[in-house]
Structure 1
Amino acid sequence: MSNLVSAKVHKKVFGSATRKSVMIYFADKASDGGEGIWASKTTIAAELEMHRATVIRTINELVAEGILIVVGDRRHRNGATVEYDISLEAVERLPEVELPRSEPAPREAGNASTRSAALPVAQRYPSHSATP
C-alpha cells in the first residue's frame, strides 16, 4: 500500500465515482512508484460492490487512456491474474478536484465571536466506559 499514490489519486478527477473507486483500489495495492498491482477482477468487483463487467470495462478504459499500464500476468493454480502499474505521470496530468469554498458568515457589528462562550470539554473516564 502506498499512501503517496493514494493521496495523488484522491486529489484528481477521474470522471465518475466508478472510475475513481477503481483507481483508489489500485492505488491501495500499489507500491510507492505505482507498480505491482494484481488482483482478480472478481475480487475487485466483490470488494468494490460492483459488477465484474463494470470493473472490466472501467479497467479497459483506464488502460486505453494510459492511466493504467498492463505489465504482464502472474501465474497461479487457477490460471493467471493481470499485473498493472499506475502511470503517475498520467495521473499528474489529470485535473485537480475543486473543493468547495465556504464563505465566512456575515458578522454583526460589535459581535467578535459567533459563539457566546466556550463550553468546557467533556471529560471521559480513563477506562472509556460510561461509568466512573
Structure 2
Amino acid sequence: MSPPSHEGNNYIMHHWKDYPSAPSNGAFIGNLPDISQGATTLELNTKNGNFPLILVKIDGNIYAYVNICPHHFLPLDYRYKKILSRDGEYLVCSAHGAKFDCKTGRIKTDKLTTHEMVDCLLHRVPLNITTDGKITIAHDK
C-alpha cells in the first residue's frame, strides 16, 4: 500500500485504506437484502470518524467505492442524491459531471489527457458477503 502523496495543492489518496476514517477489515456494512438495485450512499461510523461509501448493486453483484470524487474531493452526491446514470452503467459526480464505470470505478471520458487520468478512479473497497447475506469489509488480497 502506498501512502498518501501531495501533488501541487492536491492531496492524492492511492488506496481506500489511506483515508483517515477507513473502516477496519471485517467492519459490518449491512445486509444484502436491504441493499437496493442501483447506487446507495452511506457513511460508516468508524473510530476515526465517518467513512463515505457508495454501494452499487447491478445484476446481483455488489461493488463498493469511497464516495469521493478524485477531481474535486467532494462526495459524488454533494449536490444531489441521484448519482447513477440513466442507463445504470455510470456513477456521476454531482459537482461537475464526471462519469465513473459502476463495475470498475474507472473514469469515462475522452476529454482528459493521459497525465490527468492518472489516479483518476474511484477507490474500490473490497467486500465479503457471508452465506447469510451479511456484507462486511474484506481483507485486501
Q: What TM-score do you get using the length of structure 1 for normalisation?
A: 0.28
The structure carrying a bigger strand percent of its residues is 2
* Greater helix proportion: 1
TM-score normalised over the length of structure 2: 0.26
Bigger CA radius of gyration: 1
